[in-house]
Structure 1
Amino acid sequence: MRAALWFDDGPVVVGMDGSHAALNAMRWAAEEALALHRCLRLVHAVVAPSEGAVPAVDEDAVLVQAARLAQASSGQLRVQTAAIVGDPCAVLLRESEEAALVCLGAEAPRLPGQRPFGVVAEALAGEAGCPVAVIRSRPDGTPQIDGVISVVLDDSPDNEDVLRVAMHEGRVRRAVVRQIDQRADSWVRRYPDVRVEIVAAGTGQQYRRDDSHSSSVGLAVVGRSDSDAAASGRVSGCHAIPNYPDCSVLMVRRRLGAALHAQLHQ
């Protein structure tokens, strides 16, 4: 299944500086480029050896090594290289105006209170024209990319796009997506002591019968319309009653009184 193209058209750009962290970022970005069916563009910001001189790409050892490693990862990956004279911040900001994504490698902060990003990442975080990925490397040289993918649910206007990106990354990386619900009207926040499972209807995962009491439905809570439907045998298949005819049912047929409403919100 092809990934949803929520990025603008353009290549996946990686800032290359010859570091091991940059190579880790390039490997991460290569998977992204394959998933999005985009070209992987390796960019090295360089200083001209003399005024007006521009180094040829094929003489740039940093790009030659990176391109070789990228192409070895997949025969389907399209790779471009570019050695561009200029300050790395300015070069990558310009690249971000035409890119689907800009990716950087970085070491993890090692001192308490140290700024989370370096100069280039800070510049891109503030002004980039596309999404920016900062792939950190551990002290042992391995990339810090394993574990869950975390995303915050909040009331900001762009949160749906943020969530879409996180879910895409969960698919590409085959990782669990942890959704941290910070919305003002979040039921999970109102009841922090209650364990909650969120399952999308229609995915086939909401009701999986087996012999375990812990995985079966013991009590189904339904509203008035579903109570009427259940009485006539027309309840939706996404509810527990058709799937667990032996489960208990709590039917909320009237609006809660003010006192009970307040009590349940304590």
Structure 2
Amino acid sequence: MTTVPPREEPVVVGVDGSDSALDAVRWGATESVRRRLPLRLLHVCSVPSLGRDWLREAAAAAAATEPGLAVETSLQVGDPRRNLVAESAHASMLVLGWRGLGSGLQPLLGSVAQQLAAHARAPVVVARGRLSGEGPVVAGVAGLSEAALAFAFDEADLRGTAVVAVHVADDPGPTEERALALRLREWEGKFPGVDVEAVVLSGKPSAGLLEYGAAAQLIVVGTRGRGALAGLLLGSTSQALLRHSPCPVAVAHEPPAPDRPTPVCPEL
């Protein structure tokens, strides 16, 4: 069962010729098969000749990972951040590698992954650390945002695994435990086949999520707030995870209000 609004758009992977981007391609290819969606490989640059070679390499990596998967490649000239944010409006999710080439060539996906995670209009997955294997989906539970829980339960259902919902408070006690259990009850009803573990910790949220992420196959967090200012900056927890997570990290966004589309910030 899925309660995340169904999207028929492809899984989009940003490609920049780096080994990290190829990891993102492999992760995205498997996710495309899991969700029965096509895979779109996108390279945005100022040197098209290099981009064509990198896209061919990426398409070969996708085919080797998931034979028979429908793969589309796209070469665009422009600013990687602007183009990828625009592309995310027509994607089921945007998948990026954490480290770019670091050679002065554009685009360096690793250097802008945090900005894209904040501004993109679809869930963003940063492929890093351990890319496959068993383990639960760990969801960071903070504030009133339900986007992270929705994405985490959907992924756990698709993968046939459990959800570990982690809430970190300054001075946790029975009140926080009851509140988390009540909050999870609705999701347990929507996904009766997904086992759930509720965890309430004290300390820094990033430390708690990294601890439970050591045995996870995916960590899911949300952005802060709604409306026109939502996602302008990622919180310190999300930034720490994007830098240090032992497995891929997904950043899920609250859907914008119908009369208030998510903006593309001028600094992008």
Q: TM-score range by the shorter chain?
A: 0.5 to 0.7
Equivalent position of 1:177 in the other structure: 163
| CA deviation after TM superposition for structure 1 residue 14, in Å | 0.3
Deviations 1:152-197 (A, max 9, x none): 33441x31x3212112222334443211246999857358xxxxxx
Q: Distance in 2 between matches of 1:204 and 1:37?
A: 20
Asked if the contact 1:136–1:144 (Cα under 8 Å) also holds between the matched residues in 2, the reply is: no
Unaligned 5+ segments in structure 2 are 101-108, 179-184, 196-268
1:190-229 correspondence runs (5 A): 190=177
By relative contact order (CA 8 Å, sep 6+), the higher-ranking structure is 2
1:67 aligned to 2:59?
yes
Q: How much has 1:75 moved relative to structure 2?
A: 3.4
> d(CA) in 1 for partners of 2:148 and 2:23?
23
Change (3 A) 1:35 1:143: closer
Does residue 15 (structure 1) correspond to residue 4 (structure 2)? The answer is no
Q: Following the alignment from structure 1 to structure 2, what is the Cα–Cα distance between the partners of residues 200 and 126? A: 28
Distance 1:15 1:205 in 2: 31
Which residue number corresponds to residue 114 of structure 2?
Answer: 122
Residue type at the aligned position of 2:155: E
Verify: 1:189 aligned to 2:181, yes or no: no
State the distance in 2 between where 1:80 and 1:204 align: 34
Q: What is the percentage of aligned positions where both structures have the same residue? A: 30
Q: What are the superposed Cα offsets for residues 75-111 of structure 1, whole Å, 9 maximum, x if unpaired?
A: 3411000111112112211111111110001149xxx
Give me the whole-angstrom Cα distance separating, in 2, the residues matched to 1:172 and 1:97.
23
Q: TM-score, normalised by structure 1?
A: 0.55
Distance in 1, Cα, partners of 2:37 & 2:176: 39
Change beyond 3 A, Cα 1:7–1:122? farther
One-letter amino acid of the structure 2 residue matched with residue 135 of structure 1: A
Deviation string, structure 1 residues 204-257 (Cα, Å, up to 9, x no partner): 999xxxxxxxxxxxxxxxxxxxxxxxxxxxxxxxxxxxxxxxxxxxxxxxxxxx
Distance 2:63 2:74 in 1: 16
SS in 1 for 2:98: strand
CA apart distance, 1:5 = 5.5
Deviations 1:112-161 (A, max 9, x none): xxxxx943212212221111111114xxxx648764321133441x31x3
Distance 2:151 2:4 in 1: 10
In structure 1, C-alpha distance between the alignment counterparts of 2:68 and 2:132, rounded to whole Å? 25
2: distance between equivalents of 1:204 and 1:91?
Answer: 38
- Name the structure where helix makes up a greater proportion of residues: 2
